[in-house]
Structure 1
Amino acid sequence: MNRLLALLCLTFVAVAASAADKPNIIFILCDDLGTGDVKCLNPEGKIATPHMDRLAKEGMIFTDAHSGSSVCTPTRYGVMTGRYAWRSKLQSGVLGGLSPRLIEQGRLTVASMLKGLGYSTHCVGKWHLGMDWVRKGDVTELGIESEGQVNNVDYTQPITNGPTSVGFDTYFGISASLDMVPYCFIENDRVPATPTETMKLAMNGSGGKMSFTREGPGSPGFRGEDVLPSFTKRALKIIDEKSAGAKKGAPFFIYMPLNSPHTPILPSEKWQGKSGLSLYADFVMETDDAIGQIMRATEEAGIAKDTLIIVTSDNGCSPQANFPELIAKGHNPSGVMRGHKADIFDGGHRVPFIARWPAKVKGGQTTGQLTCLTDFTATAAEIVGVKLPDNAAEDSFSFLPVLLGESGKATRQSIIHHSINGSFALREGAWKLELCAGSGGWSDPRPGSPGEKGLPNTQLYNLESDIAEKTNVQDKNPEIVAKMTAQLEKIVANGRSTPGTPQQNAVEVVLRKPTPIAKAKKKAK
């Protein structure tokens, strides 16, 4: 890390900035929170979210914001690096709780950038970007299949290449989702309580039946219900400890990737039944309350004016929330969007995005500026006044001009979407091109399903007139399909979507996923 920080000091061109221009930054990444789950974004929604609503009233809502992927790990990679994750070796799916580090050695992260500029940097929450555990045997390279190696991990030894190796001074959290082993907290590079028990977490299933997460090692006394409150308590402690320094020009950065309202849907006891809708809705309300506590902490410490708080989600809502049950009660977690988590449709990747910075951002604003979570790195860099290296944040466009209300400044013009099976889409203006026949994810028509069979292998939608992606107009607009396909190919080949020297993708990027028939033929050969 020292070598990386030295490199940053040589590479960055800093611009003199006052304390007010280097705000504290708190980036809260909810897990599987749908755009329809936040009341200020969906007035028809039935879940009360007073704290996010207040954040929006005092800040800015981005109505056309998107995660870098429709699932967890790749989006988190993009938040940290400002680079689309499909440029890395992870081409589909997500990592497991025991998967090795995904962020490449030496790659700039938003945390290492801010640390190099004097920020105190802290990560509190669900990492899900891999870390290197001490092994007694072979290591599976990527994916949840590595969970089968739970017995070859020495949990008493320090972990390497976790959050503290990519720019964070401190880390407190869990390695991945709470439906993945191991079930334990991690403090910096250690597991405070060795996972000596075999456990699985109970969660509410469909039809009111209880179901369980993957079985594996866990720390004695570890409970899923305690995780969100523990994250909140730790973040509040950091704010309390760092606020005095922040007032004297020593800003802090907290990256807070929550475990909620992702499955297992486990709201703490005092929140169960609060919504009157379902345990999922209860969990959303508890998540909103955690955000409210963070807001109040900055206010009570007297640092709210100079603190940028961003609240967003890593992808759309999961079907585990039980859409039919919620819709029957008048609540749709995806709002008017088609699909949900994992999909190429907007329900998979259009996310809530609210920003408050009282010193600089006028409250009560809404913007339709196209935005991606990869844009956080470039935005943070522009806020603190540094020029990013050419080989960093290749897909990050600053949205600071939008926050500051500067009209006429070009920001992001297009965005590439990615689904769980690796399907691609390109959004430009009102048009959205999808290089797959179905959802590319978990909603119908699923990849390889009977419902997908016979559909065109390309989809084109005009979101201005068809926000729900109901009518595929690719056959009526061949010139648009050709132009957008060429643009997508160019962005992929260049290794970047921002201006600059072309860069290398880690592996060959395949734009169209083979059909099940094609896969079978290839296997037969």
Structure 2
Amino acid sequence: MNTRFLKAIVILLIVFFTRLDAKEAEKPNVVFVLVDDVGTGDIKCYYQKTKVTTPNIDKLASEGMRFTQAYAPGAVCSPSRYALLTGAYPCRGPLRDKPARYYTPLTISPDQMTWPRFMKQQGYRTAHIGKWHLGFGKETIANWAGEIKPGANDIGFDYHLGLPTNHNDGWKTYVENHRLLWLKDSVTELAGKPTHEQLMQIRYDDEVDSTLTGKAIEFMKENRDEPFFVYLALVATHTHITPAVQFRGTSEIGQLGDYINELDYHVGEISDALDDLGLADNTILVFSSDNGGQRNDVRNAGKVLNLRDASQDVQEKAKSAKTDARTKFGHKTNGDFRGYKGSNYEGGFRVPFIVRWPGKVPAGSESDQMITLADVFATTAGLLGEQMPESAGGDSFDLSPVLRGEEVK
């Protein structure tokens, strides 16, 4: 074979693989922070009359785009989370408008094309960290001491650290990948929730969000050299209202405001971590909520808590934190919108939605384009310049042109 021809082939191969590597390096990281029961009245940049302060979330808005007509596909937790991960409206899933229970089978088919599975196919390391609330198993899990599957790992997530439903679920631990975390080796049969005695350590309600945020940052550090996708589902401000000790007494609206302050702090931690890792400019960072804010505290609020620090009457105040914020301090969790979580009015569905991608999404911009959590799947694909499979995300609309400052046709 001609030597010159061989050299030409080698050069072409080098150029080809160099371009492949460059394309891989250009892929932006994606971090989606979904909070719980947070209405637009809980965020300062959405409701200027609020007494709460959210400097880190407001800063995110000043560095990106704030949507003023963003909606959750459901007025309660699980339906919205289903829509986010599938790009399909909740009516297409098994729950429709109902929340999952810990014994609910997995509500997303392992064969379904999901947002995390799509991201894996694009070469991303994927993680779900936080509230899950979408069920486990083909049927009810018979033995929680064994493998807990199918679950988050089976719909596209490489890593999963989750609360089966929420931090008021009485589980006292997390599910890590396919196993209960901290379960003693001596426990081989478990029909339901573990007791304190069956665990090597327990989950503390006033440390959940700090634990989840820390784990998300750890995942980003471990995968800093390859594109990653993190779905961080924080539990604030769902009942129980249990702010960590350093945030108690820091707001003007009681314990709910303290919890909002903690939430804002954790958003700042994520942003700071991206800065420290030198990844902020190449990361799409999104902040939103699963539904509108709740009017009152639920019946079991503050009744059964595992607290690392019980000072400042945190357990007693947790029983009425949301009611007190509204009746004693005049807080409007959904701003001037009518209705609350679980209702068919605007307050049940209207949510904050902020996207930051430096140099790509115009800083300090605002859009009145209607967007829902179901649109995130297709919009992410659009931002990556990738085509979604035809069978995926049937209710997901690509709104990436809006984020680039263009008009949607």
- The reply to whether TM is greater than 0.5 is yes
2:147 aligned with 1:166: no
Cα 1:284–1:39, aligned 2, differ >3 Å: closer, same or farther? Answer: same
Separation (CA, whole Å) in 2 of partners of 1:222 and 1:111: 27
1:313 aligns with 2:294: no
Find out whether 1:154 has 2:143 as its counterpart: yes
The Cα shift of 1:17 comes to 8.7
Indicate which of 208, 216, 227 corresponds to 1:227: 208
CA contact (8 A) 1:22 1:383 kept: no
Question: 1:113 corresponds to which letter in structure 2?
Answer: F
In structure 1, the partner of 2:309 is none
Q: What letter matches 1:83 in structure 2?
A: A
Q: CA deviation at 1:20?
A: 7.2
TM-score, length of structure 1 as denominator length: 0.65
Shift of 1:181: 4.0
Indicate how the Cα distance of structure 1 residues 17 and 360 shifts in structure 2: closer, same or farther if over 3 A, else same.
farther
Are 1:179 and 2:168 an aligned pair? yes
Contact 1:337 1:346 in 2 (8 A): yes
Which residue type is aligned with residue 112 of structure 2?
A: R
Deviations 1:54-111 (A, max 9, x none): 0000111000000110000010000000000111222332111221100023111110
Residue matched to 1:291: 267
Give, in whole Å, the separation in 2 of the partners of 1:283 and 1:20: 38
Q: Name the counterpart of 2:257.
A: 281
Tell me how far 1:322 sits from its aligned partner: 2.7
Secondary structure at the residue paired with 1:277?
coil
1:383 and 2:368 equivalent? no
Is the contact between residue 339 and residue 345 of structure 1 (CA under 8 Å) also seen in structure 2?
yes
Match of 1:337 in 2: 337
- Alignment partners' CA distance in 1, 2:57 and 2:248: 20
- 1:104 is matched with which residue? 109
> Does the CA-based 8 Å contact 2:42-2:260 persist in structure 1?
yes
Looking at structure 2, the residues matched to 155 and 104 of structure 1 have their Cα atoms a distance apart, in angstroms, of 20
The aligned amino acid for 2:238 is H
* Correspondence for 1:52 among 38, 54, 57: 57
SS in 2 for 1:253: strand
The alignment status of 1:39 with 2:44, answered yes or no, reads: yes
SS in 1 for 2:333: coil
Q: Paired residue for 1:394?
A: 394
**Which residue of structure 2 lines up, in the alignment, with residue 480 of structure 1?**
none
User: By how many angstroms is 1:313 displaced?
Assistant: 0.2
Distance in 1 (CA, whole Å) between partners of 2:184 and 2:365 is: 47
Change (3 A) 1:131 1:316: same
Task: Report the CA distance between 1:193 and its aligned residue.
Answer: 1.4
**How many angstroms does 1:22 deviate by?**
2.3
- 2:70 paired with 1:81: no
Q: Report the residue type matching 2:211 in the other structure.
A: S
In 2, Cα distance between equivalents of 1:24 and 1:154: 37
Partner of 2:99: 94
The one-letter code of the counterpart of 1:286 is: E
Distance 1:325 1:360 in 2: 38
Residue range with higher mean Cα deviation, 226-235 or 18-27: 18-27
SS in 1 for 2:269: helix
Partner of 2:9: none
Alignment check: 8 A CA contact 1:323 1:333 kept? no
1:254 to 225, 230, 240: 230
Contact 2:74/2:97 (<8 A) preserved = no
Q: Which residue of 2 aligns with 1:263?
A: 239
Inter-partner Cα distance in structure 1 for 2:326 and 2:97: 29
Please report how far the alpha carbon of residue 398 of structure 1 lies from its aligned counterpart in structure 2 after TM superposition: 1.3
Q: Distance in 2 between matches of 1:63 and 1:132?
A: 38
Q: 1:98, 1:181 within 8 Å by CA — same for their partners in 2?
A: no
- The one-letter code matched in structure 2 to 1:334 is N
Alignment of structure 1 residues 113-512 onto 2, 5 Å: 113-132=118-137, 153-194=142-183, 217=195, 219=199, 220-243=201-224, 245=225, 250-319=226-295, 320=297, 322-323=322-323, 325-326=325-326, 328-407=328-407, 409-410=408-409
The 8 Å contact of residues 110 and 154 in structure 2, kept in 1 or not, is answered as no
- Contact 2:172–2:202 (CA under 8 A) maintained in structure 1: no
Q: Does the aligned pair in 2 maintain the 1:96–1:180 contact within 8 Å? A: no
- Normalising by structure 2, what TM-score? 0.83
Tell me the distance in 2 between the aligned counterparts of 1:347 and 1:71.
12
- Secondary structure of 1:374's counterpart equals helix
CA contact (8 A) 1:183 1:195 kept: no
Per-residue deviation at 1:361? 1.0
Closer, same or farther: CA 341–217 of 1 in aligned 2, 3 Å: farther
- How far off is 1:40 after superposition? 0.6
CA distance in 2, matches of 1:267, 1:58: 27
Q: Aligned in 2, Cα 1:118/1:263: closer, same or farther, shift over 3 Å?
A: same
How far 1:154 moved relative to its partner? 2.6
Secondary structure of the residue that 1:305 maps to in structure 2?
helix
Identity within the alignment, %: 35
RMSD of aligned residue pairs (Cα, Å): 2.2
Separation in 2, partners of 1:327, 1:40: 23
Deviations 1:125-146 (A, max 9, x none): 011111129xxxxx66xxxxxx
> Structure 1 counterpart of 2:258, which letter?
D
For structure 2, list consecutive stretches of 5 or more residues without a partner in the other structure: 1-19, 186-192, 298-320
CA 1:306 to 1:169, structure 2 compared with 1: closer, same or farther past 3 Å?
Answer: same
